[in-house]
Structure 1
Amino acid sequence: MSPHPAQPTQTALLVLEDGRTFDGSAFGAVGETVGEAVFSTGMTGYQETLTDPSYRGQVVVMTSPHVGNTGWNDEDDESSRIQVSGYVVRDPAIRPSNWRSTRTLDDALTEHGVVGIGGIDTRALTRHLRERGAMRVGIFSGDAITDEAALLERVRAAPAMAGSALAAEVSTREPYVVEAKGEKRFTVAALDLGIKTMTPTRLAERGIEVHVLPATSSLADVQAVAPDGLFFSNGPGDPATAGDQVTLLQEALRAGLPYFGICFGNQLFGRALGFGTYKLKYGHRGINQPVIDRSTGTVEVTAHNHGFAVDAPLDESTTTPFGRAAVSHVCLNDDVVEGLELRDDDGRLLAFSVQYHPEAAAGPHDAAYLFDRFTDLLASGDDTAGATNESEIQA
């Protein structure tokens, strides 16, 4: 078992691209890593956060000071590995205490080669990022600590998140199927842009057979599974780089295929409808973000992980080649667009998306109704979904 970070054998140094540094102790693997520094406000769910593919290329700072107290188990991973580039905590737990725990958080980080740092003032670091915005960062420990000027240059040479195409790095290489639980009602093609394990599970619970497809899939690949609807998952990177996926979605909308998108899938839906996207100053990450569903007036506490957002008008609908588009959900903290919907001239729902994570991994459960909304959309589109030949697409 790894030495406990409260009794460190290695020192560590965190270096931000603007030159500010923090001294701490090695946590997890010893070495060096670079990425985009972002903070997560969740007090629980660190295992789901660490294994969420949307965090690819990012060094996650936990605002909750005490991390690791429930250890690591074999049930809660949201992908096949830890996805973050690095991990920053204030007080790593001395020992885990949970009946499902099989090893410590430190062990899991070390096993996956994830370089972390503990024992730093994460409150000061979070305030710094809130004031100055997300930026590149490096964590260096052991022999990787050299001259600070040289380390700063390595950080500044790292690629920025804006302009990064990362979805293909985390997508499945081969299609696979998640079977419907109970009676099968529908078939859905799910484009894996960094999908979390719990998402197809939530769909399957509603009688949906989910065909998870690689991010590089074409409309022909989608139609080959004879779907009743199309789903785009969450994922990392800049939505402006996902031109092929936007084109696929536009083709699917022309073909009359009902659509539901989450997170990255919301941003790509926005771009498919003709809206732009932009990078937020420091993004939304955590499981306590308030969002209003404008169709019902209900305020939901929701799980977020996004650094980009859709630039769409909040108070008016927009005519698109596919129907009338409008903002359906808004963040109550800063008025960021958190959902879109597309309707025909008769007001019938054709497609929708949300920026947050209704699969509730790790919690809360306020937005679970969105999977039911998608099921209702599939039911309403039984007679029109899934054009299967080129003439239907062109029509």
Structure 2
Amino acid sequence: MTSSSITAQYLARFAAVTADGAAGEPRPLPLTGAQRRFVVMRSANRGGPPDVVPLYFRFPAGAVDEDRLRDAVGQVAAVHPALRLRAGIRRGIPVHLPGAPSPVVRRLVPRPDESAVGALRRAIEGEREATPLRLYLAADTAGGEAVDALALVVDHAACDEQALAQITDDLAAAYAARSTAADVPPARLRAADDAYRAAVELQLDAELRASDPGALAYWTRRLAGVHRPQAAHAPGPTGRVAAADARLPGPPDAGAGSAFPALLDACAEAARELYGEARRPLLGYPWGGRPYGAGDVLGCFLNTVAHLAPKKAAADVWWDDLDRADTPFDEVVRAVRAAGQDWYGELDGMVTLEDLGRRPPLRLGDAEGHEFHVPARPSQAPFAVSFSQGDGLLVRMVWRTDLFPEPRAMAAFGRLTGRLGTPMRAP
């Protein structure tokens, strides 16, 4: 760690701009590295839509009591500080401001030429306020049966995979108990606030330690030769995406230590098909969890790890990368640029792996929601691959249609699934 690290500079400026808070005002909280990136990117996008994580479920028509759901969502937002925070900029510094819970529960009416999923996506993409928790309902017909499609939408600055599991579990419990925000004792709220603040401070301490010169020297060597995407492939706004998916029998290896590198190798194969064989693909993946000693709180405690595909198997370098996976992404970018590389953090592709066994089904009363997937715009990269491990391995690839024609994208998807030993299935 050095006093000039990005995290150290942020904490020093945060202390300076929050030292003169007026009596009675909510005490601002600092942001983790991942949270700062979400807030800064949205601010730079001039009020564009916040980066959110949506989950989609189908329930039998009329099975969900909307008033009861609204009460349950209010209680969930009350007991988790991350769902009561509002991001703000104070003298150029991102901060979180505590506030009252204000979740949104809204039933949508699809337009005459619009599906229920289309109405849900329109509401999600049209949102400009970074409301931490929103739920939308829309009547749908799936397989000829009347159902209600429900979108549970969480601001990414308030959640990661572990948090999503907690939200669905708590929402089901509050709905079953017919609880409301008024049922939460003040002592529990104070304890939750203290636990959240402590977890964020522990995360920032971890980011400080991971910004030491040794870690930065490692990433400078590891990413030597990285280059920016070609102009035609540069990340940017897009109105259209396409997707393909396949269900595989299971991960390529039962051991977690070898499964994820194999997935990275497969995604690198797809990237070579998309960008050309001569390119060394630069992929990114989220990694992390609650810092040691932190409570089981909601929030975003992830880091984006850069993976420059090696000439050999990913496993050759992946374990070494994990030893420095806490080094903040923006710190890595700055170190690589200081070494003379023309790179601003652009990624060729994003890779995510989720364990569906960690997230309980969303049960509202007697009805259990059937989760389904809706392709989203790739974030931080022109294409993204998600692996969902549950009953087998579900592989989804999403790409920007303005950059990659369908034949090339489908060829890339075929190489990806073929690398994992399973022929591609129709999207």
TM-score normalized by structure 2?
A: 0.27
Say which structure, 1 or 2, has more relative contact order (CA 8 Å, 6+ apart).
Answer: 2
TM-score, normalised with respect to structure 1: 0.29
Structure having the larger proportion of residues in strand? 1
